Structure 1
């Protein structure tokens, strides 16, 4: 007998045992729920559902079958899915109320979270399996959301449903994956039970007269052909992957619209989040910043040339000059109203070291690994990392190239010095000083160009992208990432609000400049305008964590150009300000961001891949 069939301590509580083995149709004990989390994910609290950890929901009388424990969407993921669905649903025309349909209810946890985010909504769920239905119907009775769970096949039951034409229809599509998921090769959307395309087509026919918003749960790796089949059935779609688990074991959603509902297009190729609540589209080049060559100032010590953004005339700091990697008000442009000494401030010698030591492992290494993976860097290839900073992307790429050549380019001498030190100086990576707007390389010099979280700062993004295309070989590959609106990264959003409260209404402009892209479409259009081909842009979420709120605030104010806010102040005052900002951030943070003494939150970015014309 296989050890999975036994009851001893050597039994491994994993997907195979609970989904296909002896525990498939058994109601799990609390200890078994916790063992599944520990054995499979190293976290006994892994199966968090309905906003509660296992002990809490189990204590309320909620129970799960083995297969439901595997297939249910846990809270961290369901919360993100619900938030993204609600954000897109809010754009549905002439709609103030919603009906959310879940054809394959299972535990109903995702539906529960969608309803938490989507106001004036009711939920209808269908479950064919009598065992799952009985337990889930009992479980949702303990919840505070209006969910109608119906036993039977959604196909026939939905046809008899009359949903008023003035209600928006949202459909969460997550049929059982079963053998459709092979964790090594990914999820085949044609082999789910039933196939995803069949579900989208049938519901599309049933509600052919109404705009529909589909949210299909997917795995980090998706069979490309099956994904293309589903996308062909809808008017618009966007794939989002949430980095909550180990690399290769993450989930996401394919957001899609059909029947006249399309996501609004940006009105400009370049946009910036100009306030906490909205994005204002802006044109580049309004402040007269140089678009070519090097830009000499204290801020060029921070890196590649940055995008110029225009703010309304008459604001306290006037126009912003973007020199280096972050934006600062120029005293001459601000009419003397800017903070004294801003244009003369530069990082002390330890700041790049602090950045590499603390912010790289906490934040940028995760995005770097994702970017290199998406670019598909291979042995012997020549790779360029634009705006390389302390070189984490270049180092990860170098591990793949073997005897290939990796070059990192940046304007920041201090960051480049750290990059050379950390890389070991073994000659596998060359770090050089240069501008993204005038790359010092011959045409066709590289197989791959990477640019992580730097494009948003370039004063002429189109020119920078054209330069990247120029130095690529025909058919060469580009991978570029930028942060999404700051509201999608709750830790950073709380931080900028705290900065404005403590230092004044414009203190957060530097940080907000990191989040200047308002939509994935903005990046997609920039790439197409630069004559790239095979353009794809995904919205990706990583979970980042710091030891505490105080550590996060301290690193932001000491290891980035935001240290300008503390410049020239006595040490006692500096520490008091750091403590006050940390206190404000903690007060504005959701309790889920403050668990186990850490400061942890989702961080969202747009990641684009493309190829040079072949």
Structure 2
């Protein structure tokens, strides 16, 4: 993972929340919320909350009286999340590094994280922090994307950009969001952090959008792929987005489009 892979700034957070969240995150956010709600936590911590896809789903799924702290290292993303959920007294927002959480030991019943672990520079350290702030019988629930070949739009976007920039293909999607999918590695990282009761479930879903153009716009302009394309040739930025849209339109049609996405959902207890 390069340092640029973690930069969600400028116009990216807004586009990400408006287009990318409904495209690939909402279904899995509802899934995480259902799993956490079944645990009936009185104190919940979310790390790498991004623009608040899980936070919104969780607020709808959990009762009125509980403590919910949502954190993210990236302040522009967290600012959108907080704005979207303004006025909910149950939720507090805090900029925080998942690898150095500013909370006491055994403070939370549940720690959850949606599609953030792939971005952690030291996953064992971040998992150890989640374990530290959990109560002795607490639960850590998180998900990561499966291999890119199981996520059709992400794979097609990556292949299309590879043809446009054959000498230096933008590989953000394969390298980082879809770069942490080996179940044995995930299990070993969690065990290294002190977790023992670990389950990993493969969960497929469908990604849907009204047009191929919207898929291309979401991926190319609402993620750090934007920075990768601009670094190669800023003059080709719109052409790259158009080329991706053409590939998706050719494969999925000119109207509403849909394709398989797949993630791993992990539950771990000390």
The alignment partner of 2:97 has SS state of coil
* CA distance in structure 2 between the partners assigned to 1:322 and 1:541 by the alignment: 29
Between the aligned partners of 2:22 and 2:102, the Cα distance in structure 1 is 30
Give the 3 Å change call, closer, same or farther, for CA 324–388 of structure 1 in structure 2. Answer: farther
2:120 is aligned, of 458, 466, 471, to 458
Determine the structure 2 residue equivalent to 1:365.
Answer: 26
Kindly indicate whether residue 269 of structure 2 is the aligned counterpart of residue 579 of structure 1.
no
Aligned to 2:230: 566
Structure whose residues are more often helix by fraction? 2
Q: Partner residue of 1:181? A: none
Matched residues in 2 for 1:355 and 1:530: separation?
31
Distance 1:548 1:419, change over 3 A: same
Note if 1:408 corresponds to 2:70: yes
Specify which structure has the bigger relative contact order, considering alpha-carbon pairs within 8 angstroms and separated by 6 or more residues: 2
Greater C-alpha Rg: 1
Candidates 162, 166, 170, aligned match of 1:500? 162
2:209 to 546, 557, 574: 546
1:550 partner SS: helix
Q: How far apart are residue 353 of structure 1 and its match? A: 1.9
Asked if 2 retains the 8 angstrom alpha-carbon contact of 1:409 and 1:431, the reply is: yes
Q: What is the distance in 1 between the residues matched to 2:57 and 2:22?
A: 13
How many Å apart are 1:508 and its aligned residue?
2.7
Counterpart check, 1:322 vs 2:41: no
CA contact (8 A) 1:377 1:397 kept: no
- In structure 1, what is the Cα distance between the partners aligned to 2:78 and 2:92? 10
1: CA distance, partners of 2:38 / 2:199: 17
**Whole-angstrom CA distance in 2 between matches of 1:549 and 1:392:** 23
Q: How far did 1:378 drift? A: 5.1
Q: Which sections of structure 1, spanning at least 5 residues, go unmatched?
A: 1-307, 309-320, 327-345
Instruction: For residue 500 of structure 1, give the secondary structure of its aligned residue in structure 2.
Output: helix
8 A Cα contact 2:23 2:215, kept in partner: no
1-side partners of 2:166 and 2:253: how far apart? 30
Cα distance in 2, alignment partners of residues 395 and 430 from structure 1: 13
Structure 2 residue 109 is the aligned partner of structure 1 residue 428: no
SS of aligned partner of 2:65 = coil
Cross-structure match for 1:105: none
Q: Distance in 1 between matches of 2:214 and 2:65?
A: 39
State the alpha-carbon separation in 2 of the partners of residues 324 and 498 from structure 1. 19
Q: Deviations over 1:377-421 (max 9, x none)?
A: 555611111100011212222330421111111111111110111
- What's the TM-score once normalised by structure 2's chain length? 0.90
Q: Tell me if the contact between 1:436 and 1:467 (Cα under 8 Å) persists in the aligned partners.
A: yes
Match of 1:470 in 2: 132
CA distance in 1, matches of 2:27, 2:98: 23
CA distance in 2, matches of 1:416, 1:435: 12
Confirm or deny that 1:398 pairs with 2:49: no
Tell me how large the CA RMSD over aligned residues is.
Answer: 2.1
Equivalent position to 1:604, from 262, 265, 269 = 262
Counterpart in the other structure of 1:223: none
Q: Secondary structure at the match of 2:3?
A: strand
Distance 1:357 1:609, change over 3 A: same
Give the TM-score taking structure 1 as reference length. Answer: 0.41
Q: Check if 1:386 corresponds to 2:50.
A: no
Cα distance between partner residues in 2 of 1:393 and 1:529: 27
Q: How far apart are the structure 2 equivalents of 1:574 and 1:323? A: 17
User: What stretches of structure 2 of length at least 5 have no aligned partner?
Assistant: none
CA contact (8 A) 2:207 2:259 kept: yes
* 3-state SS in 2 of match to 1:515: coil
**Equivalent residue of 1:514, what SS?**
coil
Indicate conservation of the 8 Å contact 2:119/2:177, yes or no. Answer: yes
Displacement of 1:371 after TM fit? Answer: 1.4
Partner of 1:300: none
- Residues 17-62 of structure 1, C-alpha deviation per residue, up to 9 Å, x if partnerless? xxxxxxxxxxxxxxxxxxxxxxxxxxxxxxxxxxxxxxxxxxxxxx
User: Which residues of 2 match residues 182-221 of structure 1 at below 5 A?
Assistant: none
